[in-house]
Structure formats: C-alpha cells, structure tokens
Structure 1
Amino acid sequence: MGHRRPVFARYYARASVRMEPFLAPHRRALLDGLSGRVIEIGAGNGLNFGHYSAPISHVLAVEPEPHLRGLARDAATRAGVPVTVVAGLADPLPAADASFDAAVACLVLCTVPDQAAALAEIRRVLRPGGELRFFEHVAAESSGRRRVQRALQATVFPLLAGGCHCARDTAAAIESAGFTIRRAVRLGPADTGIPFPTAPQVLGIAVRS
C-alpha cells in the first residue's frame, strides 16, 4: 500500500473481509510449510496472520498505511505465532541483511512504486536459499486484455485502487531480481473471486540465489 490512503484503506479493509471465502484457501496455500523467521511485506489488515503456524518462530509484518496497520496489530493478537507489526516501506525494508528465512508478498507488488527496488530489498533481507512466497495479480495473457490493463494503469486505476498497477509482469520481475521460481500457478476470477482488471493472479514460490 502507499503511505497514507485513508479512503482506499477503509474500502480495502471492508472489501478484503468480504473476499475471504474465496481467498482464504489461497492464503493457506501461500503460507503452507513455512518455518523460521518470516517477513511479510505490505501486510494490509493482517488477513494472512491466521494462516501462519508453527514451526514459524516469528513474523515481522511491514505495513505503511496507518489505518490498515492498526487493524493488522489487532489481528496479530489473535495469530497462532508471534507477529510484530511495524511501519515501513518495501523500499527500504526495516530489516538487516539475510535476517529472514522467508518473505511473503500477497497482493502488494502491484502497489509498490518501484517493483525492481522492492524485490531487491526482499532479496537483501532473505538468507541465501530463502523463499519468497507470492500471490499477486499479473498482466492478462490475451493481448486485448493487456491493452485494457495498460490503458487503465496509465490513467485512472492507480488513483482509484490505492496505487495498484494492474499490468505488471510480476513473475518475470521476480526472476529478474535474482530469484528462481520453483512453482507458479495461474488463477482466474473463478478461483479467487477477484475480477478483471486485477485478474489473473499468480501463486508461487521463488528461491533466493
């Protein structure tokens, strides 16, 4: 999310809860099998927190938007593992080099101003061999839909949708940042309930070289 987007933050907080019947299974798949120290970038209102479990030892959740950060701190009190919610940006991340076993990016890499810089920061804070778990919406496969996404991205959509860029090729950006994608599944509106232009999505695992 951006720094302070009070209107969008309140809309997102309500809409994301309504979407949970569709998204909860994908959140579980995103986080399944994680262990050790985890950093979550752009934690929003903390809807991932209920899906973290042992052997995760600690989650550092970074969220810049004040209203969403407050909701995330409430959600952290109900999590099954220790979660610390802090103010911060994806670039730079408030963490030391190679200090985490895994990073989680969930519906956030569309909103960062500089995707390459954010991914470089994620790579910096992960240990070698650490995992990036990602669930992100990406550019459509058909050329017609991509044209629509690019037109929206260049005009009104970022203003209306909290800085969201709906035409990014995030999987390619992850690979360009020095990660190897080990698994990636494309999902559509029938899978997630998220409509075009923020569909399709990709759910996957990448490993830091």
Structure 2
Amino acid sequence: MPVHHPIFARLYRRLSQVMERGGMAEHRRALLEGLTGTVIDIGAGNGLNFAHYPASVGRVVAVEPEPHLRQVAQQAADSAPVPVEVVDGLAERLPAEDGSADAAVVSLVLCSVRDQAAVLREIQRVLKPGGQLRFLEHVRADSPGLARVQRALDATVWPRLAGGCHAARDTATAIEHASFTTTRIDRFLFPGGRTPLSFYISGIAEKKSH
C-alpha cells in the first residue's frame, strides 16, 4: 500500500530542522557512532541521519516510502560522507536480502508504522547474526496520567495529523519481544519538560544468534 502524506511530509521537513537545531542532531550522532559495514536506514525521512554516519560505514541503503521525503533524502545523500542509496519501500517489506545488513537504524519510525511486530520481524530477517538495531524513538510516558493523554491522542486525530504517528507505544518492550537483546538504552526528555510527546528512548539491540 503506497504511503503518501504530502502535507505532513512538508511540515515534517520544516519541523525536523527545528528539532535538529534544538539538540536532536546530537542524539542522531550518538545513535550512529561506531557503526560499520552495510547499514539499512528504515524510514529515512528527509535524510537527516546521513550526515552523521561515520567513515567506517561502507554503504547505507535508505528506505523511504513517502515520495516528497524520498526526493529530499536523495539530495541529502548526494552530500553524505558515506555512500547512500535511497530506495522506495515499506518497513514491513524491506527491499533487502536475508542477512545482508550489519546494522539497521530506525529514528522516529516505529511510532508510525502500521505493525511494529511485523517491522521488527523484517529487521530480524535482513540483519546478519549478531547484527545491531540502533533506535531513536519517542515512546509511552512514564506516568499513568500522561500515558492516558497519549492514548486519547492516538484514538482521535493525532495519527491522521502526524503521518500515522502514535504517542503511546511501548517500543522498548516491543523490541525485547522481537527476540532482540537490548545492550544499551537511554531515556530522555526532548526538548525538555514533561509533555505527551517529550518521552524518548535511544539505544542498541542485537539480533540473537540461534
């Protein structure tokens, strides 16, 4: 099913630049530090990760289904410090071979996919044994009151206004349930203050070897 959010895509392009200047760029840089080999960047958006990939990365396959954001991402790829190939595709059906990636990156993506479990299974499929999932996501609040507000937003207009985003997802638990081993997780507020949209996690999980 095609993904086409022309109004949201243009708003997100502007909002994401404000977030970058407000400190999100530093979180992206920390997220990508130390990566090597072939990386699949899922839901690459307008390509804000690209500038932060270390030279040790040999190749990035950036998957973005929204046409406007994909076009902007291609422009960012042209000036990236590592080779980046921008492709069309859905997180639930990644255009990559089994066991072909050393790492997968999701940043502000798992909140908006239709089926988190299906996406995490796809990430498991494309990762090599022991491959890493790097994640940077906004998540469910740590207080019952704010979590109720988040669920109310998700049940009304928020997903339609925000390109499918859901505020109340417990993404850390979903990653654990998808047979990843979380080796690092940081929780923080962004941009500060306790609002329904200010709870974030960032971290590393590894594909379990069977």
Give the letter aligned to residue 207 of structure 1: E
1:53 partner SS: coil
TM-score when scaled to structure 2?
0.96
Aligned residue number for residue 4 of structure 2: 4
Aligned residue number for residue 50 of structure 1: 51
The superposition leaves residues 95-133 of structure 1 with CA deviations (integer Å, 9 ceiling, x where unpaired) of 010100000000000000000000100111000100000
- Tell me if structure 2 keeps the 8 A contact 1:91–1:117: yes
Asked if 1:145 corresponds to 2:130, the answer is no
Asked if 1:206 corresponds to 2:184, the answer is no
Distance 1:13 1:195 in 2: 24
**1:158-173 paired onto structure 2 within 5 Å:** 158-173=159-174
2:111 partner SS: coil
Aligned residue number for residue 134 of structure 1: 135
- Tell me if structure 1 keeps the 8 A contact 2:65–2:90: yes
Aligned residue number for residue 36 of structure 1: 37
Give structure 1 stretches of 5+ with no counterpart: none
Distance 1:127 1:194 in 2: 39
Q: Root-mean-square deviation (CA), in Å? A: 1.2
Aligned residue number for residue 27 of structure 1: 28
Q: 1:143 Cα deviation (Å)?
A: 0.2
- Tell me if structure 1 keeps the 8 A contact 2:192–2:198: no
Aligned residue number for residue 178 of structure 2: 177
Percent of pairs with identical residues: 61
**1:105-120 paired onto structure 2 within 5 Å:** 105-120=106-121
Q: 1:154 Cα deviation (Å)?
A: 1.1
C-alpha change, 1:121 and 1:194, in structure 2 (3 Å) is farther
Asked if 1:67 corresponds to 2:68, the answer is yes
Distance 1:175 1:194 in 2: 27
Distance 1:161 1:193 in 2: 20
1:104 partner SS: strand
Distance 1:198 1:137 in 2: 7
Distance 1:16 1:103 in 2: 21
Distance 1:196 1:109 in 2: 19
Give structure 2 stretches of 5+ with no counterpart: none
- Tell me if structure 2 keeps the 8 A contact 1:181–1:206: yes
Give the letter aligned to residue 168 of structure 2: A
Give the letter aligned to residue 123 of structure 1: Q
Give the letter aligned to residue 198 of structure 1: L
- Tell me if structure 1 keeps the 8 A contact 2:62–2:87: yes
Asked if 1:93 corresponds to 2:99, the answer is no
Aligned residue number for residue 195 of structure 2: 196
Q: 1:193 Cα deviation (Å)?
A: 5.5
Distance 2:186 2:118 in 1: 24
Q: 1:27 Cα deviation (Å)?
A: 0.3
Give the letter aligned to residue 92 of structure 1: R
C-alpha change, 1:85 and 1:195, in structure 2 (3 Å) is farther
Give the letter aligned to residue 200 of structure 1: F
- Tell me if structure 2 keeps the 8 A contact 1:180–1:206: yes
